[in-house]
Chain A
Amino acid sequence: MVITCIVFCSAKAQKSQNEILQQFESGKYTVYKVTDKEKFEKIKKTWPVEITKVRDDVSQVLVKRSGILDELFKPDVPGYPAYFAYKTYRLSFMKDYAVYYSWNGKQQATTKYILVKPGGDFGASWEVTNKNVATYATATFKNQTGARANVKQAKAKMVEAERKANSLEGKQVSKIEIQLVEEPSKVGHFSEAIHYGVIATLKDGTKRKTKNLKGKLPWDDFKLSHQGCSNTIDIVRVDEDATQIPEDKLVLKVTSVYHPSLKAIKNINMTNDVAIKVNQNGFWGYEREKHMAVSQGMDGQHAGRADNLTVKVKTVTHKQTGKKINKIEIFNTTKNKIIARYKLTPETQLIINAIGGQGMNGFDGTSSRPNGGNGGYGGAGGNVTFIKDPSVTKHNIIINTSGGKGGKGGSPKYSTASRGRNGTAGNNGNTIKQTKKVTLNF
């Protein structure tokens, strides 16, 4: 009870550097440095210390190291400092002296110098000094809540003032428009990001721009409702699923939060000409443990077979440009789910891999089991049904259904032992091509 009270009372009674420094003046301070043996040793020369105060608050402490090098220490939290900082060094004033120390993430202090005020006294050991200054600093941090809140508030006030100065809030705005940072050369699934910004024209003719257009107009001023791409500020990416782009164009749309009648829309036509590769391959032998329980001996694990797929293609007209594009749907019949829905120009390459996994190599023989292990079998390729609508006259879809290679047999430990057998390659999958009417709901 008594201990708790002492701890609590001492924490409450913790003085900030501003209070402690009431007892300190600028002057020539006696300096003790730390020797290799972690003892203090008095330095011949005194160091000038200049303390600058604004009313009762200390705004900075200038230490003239060795009388020649200026080190300007600033308070960590103005109003209730626990220390003054210069680069990674800290200075905390205690009874008659200042501790010059470094600080680590474990809340530990390592004293480098002691600066004793004129007429002051110092006699503690290095370890005790480190402990004392760390205890003082951590206790003071806890009391800094109010001062930190003030600093935070002051910062927030500045940020808010800047936001308000650059925001459309309370300003008369004639129009807002969307501007692309750079015109994209290709717009398709997996194409590069599109960078954009917003320009607002005020009634007086001045223009405000978002940061990526080299302005300060805050993005918080706008509500986004993009279609066909991610609904994000600065950068958007085309949706990977063609169902999200029914009109074959991206629509970037922003609405002013403070002037809801002001809207800006930018349409970007899809070019559908970014090549795509889709993999529905079997797992490799070494990955078998991720798919099922395995017991591992000397033999390599067998690989997994590729999934079976149904690929449907239909040619339609691009709703914006009128050019021919292919709608493609890839359905995984093994897992009974749609894998992808794309729109691509007939010339754009789409590679669909349903390749069997590669068998794992057998282990090399050891002194206790000298024979090499057998290689695992390669997985079979997937069976793909490729259904082409009669409307399709051209496409660039490549389907790979080869079986996976077998794993290599392990080497024997001794010449008298035997090498493991190589695993058998997986069978190639079949590709069945059909031409019949296809219905795709996107």
Chain B
Amino acid sequence: MKKQTLLTAIFSLFLIIGINNTVEAQLGRSLIKSMRKKGKKNKKKKGNTKAKFAEFSSENDEMKISGQYFSFKEKSDMGLRFVKSAEGKIVNQLHVFFTDPDNPTYKFTMKESYYRKHQIKMFFVWPSASASSYIEMVEVDPGVFAVISGNRSLDRYEDPIPLFATREVVNVFAKDMTQFDTWDIETAQAKLDMIVGTLKGAASDKTKKKLMKYDVYKNYVGKIAFAKSTNVLRNQKDNQPTEKEANFITKQILGETVAFKPYFEKPLEQSHPGAWFNITYEMAGQKTDREALRNSSSVFGNNIPQIDDDKGRFYFWFPRVTINTSNNVADYAFLELLRLTQDKLTAGKIYDLKITIWAYKDGANIDPVASGTIQLEYATDANKTKKRLFEPVHGWVSKIEDVLDE
């Protein structure tokens, strides 16, 4: 009885594997792999298929896409057909035929808004849920399509991968093989980068328009908002700055938590391509610069990381802090400022702290992208500023002095 159960289980396992392989073969792990296989198959029966797909060239559609195409890598042919409607519905699909001219191997969906707004013909398909299966086809020149793989997965398979995802051209399809003299993979990639750049620019304009509907962004663009904790500056969704202005501060006790969040006119990757962020702190006639400190010694180099995130955003996703007393985190550049100014600071006085966020490239601050000033009051209460900064063991100034003394 036990033997029979075991045999049944093994048989079922083979059956499952067999079924999976069949499905995989039908869908193809990726278009790229299937195209390679397809190319080899086609070479064997070249004469027939050429004749089969040649008929596609006589078809006309409003997009001027349909026709017989050739693959750059395999030099094999295939049929492409633009299908506007099916079963009485507008579908705007691109059918790709590799083997049977009557049954499309893939049905790509058109990203209609890209065509409507920018006349860019982009089609995509998710053969499976895996990110590696994603295939995109973009017309880079009349009669020339770049075949693209992506590196992102999505929850919604009705959409293409987002614009900020990495797109790699893996093949080129052209109606005329002489077009490959111009359109190799590198060139198609360069043109695709340009197209994506255009779309990103348009998407950024749209995002900015949307952001301007938020009072916080509208009032603080080019400025820095300050708060007593990071959580009041955070928000849950991309490009929805729902933080409340009522929680922002313009004055704080020196030594207490100051969280800050800059809002930019444009994402840094657009306003200053190739640059990253730098921060300078100015108070009581002294100034410290994160990048300058980072490059000055290994102590600062190890404790001041480069700010390379958020280059594609209109604001920092995670607010930064000068000092955060709740988790004992501080910016070493701000601590250095406190160390440098400690002799000038007196109880009962208020000091303006100016923070500037810079676009930084090749060892220099290029342009300021946001700035703000907060007033820091040296509290007369000995348990506040004095304790926070100068307590011999846990005081912030004592800590930075200890680190630098090592």
Contact = CB atoms under 8 A, between A and B. Distances in A.
Interface of A: 33, 43-45, 65-69, 71, 76, 82, 85, 87-88, 90, 103, 105, 141, 148, 190-193, 195, 230-237, 239, 337
Closest 4 CB pairs of A and B: A230-B250, A66-B187, A230-B251, A232-B250
Contact of B245 (A90, A103, A193): A193
Interface string B366-383: 000000011100000100
A69 B190 contact: yes
Contacts of B219: 195, 235
A233 B184 CA distance: 57
A88 B273 contact: yes
A241 B140 CA distance: 65
B273 A44 contact: no
Contacts of A337: 381
What is the predominant secondary structure among interface residues of chain A facing chain B? loop
Interface magnitude class on chain B: 20 to 34
A256 B350 CA distance: 22
Contacts of A232: 250-251, 373-375
Interface string B161-205: 000000000000000000001111011001100100100000000
Contacts of B362: 76, 82, 141
B392 interface: no
A69 B250 contact: no
Nearest to A82: B362
22 contacts: A33-B186, A43-B184, A43-B186, A45-B181, A45-B182, A66-B183, A66-B184, A66-B186, A67-B182, A68-B187, A76-B361, A87-B274, A88-B274, A148-B364, A230-B250, A230-B251, A231-B350, A232-B373, A235-B219, A235-B250, A236-B250, A237-B250
Given A105-B308, A232-B250, A235-B250, A65 B190 contact: yes
B363 A141 contact: yes
Contacts of A45: 181-182
Contacts of B248: 193, 235, 237
A87 B197 contact: yes
Contacts of B249: 237
A103 B182 contact: no
A410 B350 CA distance: 50
A241 to B, nearest CB: 10
Most central of A65, A66, A231 by chain B CB within 10 Å: A66
- Pick the most buried of A43, A82, A87, A148: most chain B CB atoms within 10 A of its CB: A87
A192 B245 contact: yes
B306 A237 contact: no
B306 A105 contact: yes
Contacts of B361: 76
B246 interface: yes
Given A66-B186, A85-B274, A103-B274, 8 more contacts: A66-B187, A66-B190, A68-B182, A69-B187, A141-B362, A230-B375, A232-B374, A233-B373
B223 interface: yes
A85 B273 contact: yes
A44 B250 CA distance: 63
A90 B191 CA distance: 17
B134 interface: no
A239 B377 CA distance: 12
A193 B364 CA distance: 35
* Residue among B223, B245, B274, B276 facing the most chain A CB atoms (10 A cut-off): B274
Contacts of B364: 148
B276 A105 contact: yes
A232 B183 CA distance: 58
Q: Which of B190, B250, B381 has the most CB of A within 10 A?
A: B250
A195 B197 CA distance: 37
Interface in B187-241: 187, 190-191, 194, 197, 219, 223
A88 B274 CA distance: 5
Nearest to A232: B250
Given A45-B181, A141-B362, A190-B246, A234 B223 contact: yes
A162 B190 CA distance: 39
B216 to A, nearest CB: 11
Contact of B250 (A67, A87, A148, A193): A193
* Residue from B186, B306, B308 whose CB has the most chain A CB atoms within 10 Å: B186
Nearest to B246: A192
A386 to B, nearest CB: 25
A69 B251 contact: no
Given A105-B276, A193-B248, A44 B187 contact: no
Contacts of A33: 186
A313 to B, nearest CB: 24
Interface in B283-319: 306, 308
Contacts of A231: 350, 375
Contacts of A90: 274
A192 B190 CA distance: 49
A87 B273 contact: yes
Nearest to B363: A141
Contacts of A190: 246
Contacts of B373: 232-233
Nearest to B194: A69
A90 B187 CA distance: 17
Contacts of A192: 245-246
A148 to B, nearest CB: 6
A35 to B, nearest CB: 11
Contacts of B251: 230, 232, 237, 239
Contacts of A82: 362
Contact of A65 (B187, B245, B276): B187
Contacts of B375: 230-232
A338 B381 CA distance: 10
Interface string B110-148: 000000000000000000000000000000000000000
A44 B181 contact: yes
A176 B250 CA distance: 24
A193 B194 CA distance: 43
A234 B220 CA distance: 10
A69 B189 CA distance: 11
A295 to B, nearest CB: 21
Contacts of A103: 274
Contacts of A105: 276, 306, 308
Nearest to B365: A152
A251 B149 CA distance: 62
Contacts of B274: 85, 87-88, 90, 103
Contacts of A237: 248-251
A329 B186 CA distance: 73
A66 B245 CA distance: 52
Nearest to A274: B246
Nearest to A338: B381
Contacts of B223: 234
A143 to B, nearest CB: 12
B152 to A, nearest CB: 20
A374 B23 CA distance: 56
A77 to B, nearest CB: 8
